[in-house]
Amino acid sequence: MELRVLAYFLAVVDAKNISRAARQLHVSQPTVSRQLQALEDELGVPLFERGSREIQLTSDGLYLANQARQITALVDKTLTNIHQTKTISGTVLIGCGESQMMGTVAQSINTLKHEHPGVQINLFSTDGNTAVERLQAGIFDFAIVMTPMMDHRYNFIRLPGASRWGLLLPKSSPLARQKSISAEQLTNIDLIAPQQKGIDELFENWLGHSTDQFHIISTYNLLYNASILVSAGVGAALCLDNIINTNHTALTFVPLIPTLQSMASLVWLKGRPLSDAASAFLNQLQAAVS
């Protein structure tokens, strides 16, 4: 499977029409059609639904399109990092879970831009699970996660600071007038809970028993949309403090008691060589936390 053929395939997917894709690629329509047919023959599955005016993908076609985008993105990033000048340049992609400890990372990026203006740091906001998956796939250079990475496959740097767990509530809720929420109260509340791996274990250790008593009515991977559910009265979001700015809003954050905190780490895969740009960022962050 050639990268050129994947580029033809993605062009057709985006244009939804072989003729339009051929014009954008500056090749003939028969050339594109032959390449797509050869790709289907190679894979042994149909990639397109025939018979409609616009291209429609089969389930295998949808899967290939998603994989092809990741492959071409990885190739583009690799070529950018290889084709450097004598000064350090290139792109670094960091998958970020929501964390107030991002402040240290931001300060490091600010310092780095003055020392190595040819380095571009790209942040991709997502949940910790997806960040780690894309780190493993080679799409991300680094990931920032809240749960401890006690895994021999990863190196990590613990970021300074910690965040409290609590509930994001409407200010109109009776619980909003409390200074804290107890474990007993937590089991009697409609909860919007984070999807991240390790959360159940974290709260089971805090509770001293299973989280089966939690009444979870919805889950989330990023808190912004969950905050909209809270505003609509769906439930209370179990979350970390200082992710949502509640100033001048109808929401408030109430911490849990006893206090439960999480820390954040920057992680990267052991044994995978880093580009000069990624190494420059890592050196800057290590200097900031030492």
Sign of CA dihedral 115, 118, 123, 129: negative
274 or 97: which leads in pLDDT: 274
Residue 88: per-residue pLDDT: 86
- Closest to 209 measured CA to CA, from 200, 219, 218, 198: 200
Q: Dihedral (C-alpha) 223, 226, 232, 236: value to the nearest 10 degrees?
A: -90
Tens of pLDDT, residue by residue over 154-194, are 999 999 989 999 999 999 999 999 999 999 999 889 999 99
Read off the pLDDT of each residue in 98-108 and give the average, rounded to a whole number.
89
Asked whether the beta carbons of 110 and 284 are under 8 A apart, the reply is no
Tens of pLDDT, residue by residue over 7-66, are 888 988 888 888 888 888 888 888 888 888 998 889 999 998 876 667 888 899 899 999
Give domain 87-161+264-289's CATH architecture: 3-Layer(aba) Sandwich (3.40)
Question: Where are the extended beta strands (E) located within 198-242?
Answer: 215-220, 236-240
Asked whether the beta carbons of 160 and 206 are under 8 A apart, the reply is no
Tens of pLDDT, residue by residue over 35-48, are 889 988 899 999 98
Residues contacting residue 56 through CB under 8 Å, at least 6 positions apart: 48, 49
As a residue count, the chain comes to 290
The one-character DSSP state at 211 is G
Asked if the domains at 87-161+264-289 and 163-261 fall in one CATH topology, the answer is yes
Does the pLDDT of residue 86 top 70, yes or no? Answer: no
CA distance 175 to 191: 13
CA distance 259 to 285: 29
Residue 23: per-residue pLDDT: 87
Tens of pLDDT, residue by residue over 253-289, are 999 999 999 989 999 999 899 999 999 999 999 999 8
Tens of pLDDT, residue by residue over 218-264, are 999 889 999 999 999 999 999 999 899 999 999 999 999 999 999 89
Q: What is the CA radius of gyration of the chain?
A: 24
Domain ranges for the chain: 3-79, 87-161+264-289, 163-261
Does the pLDDT of residue 147 top 70, yes or no? Answer: no
Give domain 3-79's CATH architecture: Orthogonal Bundle (1.10)
CATH number, domain 163-261: 3.40.190.10
Does the pLDDT of residue 149 top 60, yes or no? Answer: no
Residue 283: per-residue pLDDT: 93
